Amino acid sequence: MILQEFYSTTDVHVAGEVFRLFDDIPFIQYESLKELDEQLPNVFSKEIALLLNEPRGFAGINGCLVVPPISRNSDAAAVFFNHEKTLPIHYGGVVAVVTALLESGKLKEKSNGTYLIETVHGVIPVVALKEKEQVVSVSVEIEDCSVLQTDVPLLDSSYTVVQADHRYAVFDKSATEADIGLSDLSALKKWGINTIQALKSTEIEGVILMDEAALAQGKIKTVTFRKDGWIVRSPGFGSTAACFAYLLSKGRVKPNLTLINESVFESFLESKAQYINGKYQFSMCAKGFITGMQTFVLDPTDPLPGGFLIK
């Protein structure tokens, strides 16, 4: 075997969603994180395909390039991306970055537990609690979340448009007979694909199906579909904020409530909402788990250097 290229990565899952972090890329010049973000798809297209596509990755994995901060006040900087494009922000990825940097010792622990992660979206403050060399929780705030439209008719149901990290269409569980659980996963996927197809001509970037049956106990259950039909493995930070905003707009919950969002895969996110300066601010609490530290290699005789994707 002839080894041509080496890439060291750290994998972290946050509520079931996987993030692959790496920092050992070839040097390029950039004066801002936005400039790095713009260069990434072209300059590192080969590396992105190698690390995210099968057989080394899969359709649901998220990529994250971690670099030193440009802003003097920040602790680290990160550029997020998936198989198709870079992302201005991925809140689950922020949790993954802080967890990996603190547990690996690359980020010095602070007495107040507050860290600033620079992203293309802006500087994101997080609060991380560390006990016995392990990060046990990370809290992050989501400010930009608002209900844009309600009761929009579609097929035999209706949805609410909410702008969070993406623009979501939020549907009530009554839109389908399927239960939000693994036993009905096939029916859920079919409903999700049909719904996304019906929304193709809109600006919707994700579809959320929400079950409020346990709302009196401060719990909801959701499944989120990406625009390509892929089911997000976690409850989703943006999805949770979108559902919270929807429930607040309908008067079904009140601020300062702790809301637990359970995914179809039985992972959880804890969220809270506060009304500050005329708008709601949402905070999410989660824990990241390092699942692997590995070195990927490329053999020049490999017939699949760019890998492949099965969705």
pLDDT at residue 1 tops 60: no
- The CATH number given to whatever domain includes residue 178 is 3.10.310.10
Chain center to CA of 119? 14
Query: Is residue 207 located within the same domain as residue 260?
Result: yes
Query: Is residue 132 located within the same domain as residue 164?
Result: no
Query: Is residue 76 located within the same domain as residue 174?
Result: no
DSSP string, 36-67: HHHHHHHHTHHHHHHHHSBTTS-TT-EEEEEE
3-state SS, residue 272 = strand
pLDDT at 287: 96
Query: Is residue 38 located within the same domain as residue 155?
Result: no
Query: Is residue 75 located within the same domain as residue 206?
Result: no
Q: Give the residue numbers spanning the domain of 95.
A: 5-141+289-298
Over its C-alpha atoms, the chain yields an Rg (Å, rounded) of 20
Query: Is residue 188 located within the same domain as residue 279?
Result: yes
CA dist 13 and 20 (Å) reads 9
pTM (predicted TM-score):
0.94
Q: For residue range 173-204, what is the model confidence (pLDDT) as tens digits?
A: 999 999 999 999 999 999 999 999 999 999 99
Tokens at 227, concatenated: 């625009």
Query: Is residue 156 located within the same domain as residue 264?
Result: yes
pLDDT at 311: 78
Query: Is residue 195 located within the same domain as residue 86?
Result: no
CA dist 147 and 303 (Å) reads 48
Query: Is residue 150 located within the same domain as residue 42?
Result: no
Tokens at 209, concatenated: 């199906």
Q: How many domains does the chain have?
A: 2
Residue 189 forms part of a structural domain? yes
pLDDT at residue 167 tops 90: yes
Query: Is residue 78 located within the same domain as residue 132?
Result: yes
Residue 311 forms part of a structural domain? no
Query: Is residue 122 located within the same domain as residue 154?
Result: no
Please name the residue that has the structure tokens 């904020």: 241
Confidence label for 3 from pLDDT (cuts 50, 70 and 90): low
CA dist 239 and 225 (Å) reads 10
- For the chain, where are the alpha helices, taking DSSP H only? 33-43, 45-52, 91-104, 185-198, 237-249
Residue 305 forms part of a structural domain? no
H-run or E-run covering 280:
strand 279-286
Bigger pLDDT: 26 vs 167: 167
Query: Is residue 238 located within the same domain as residue 273?
Result: yes
Q: By C-alpha distance, which of 91, 135, 105 is closest to 236?
A: 91
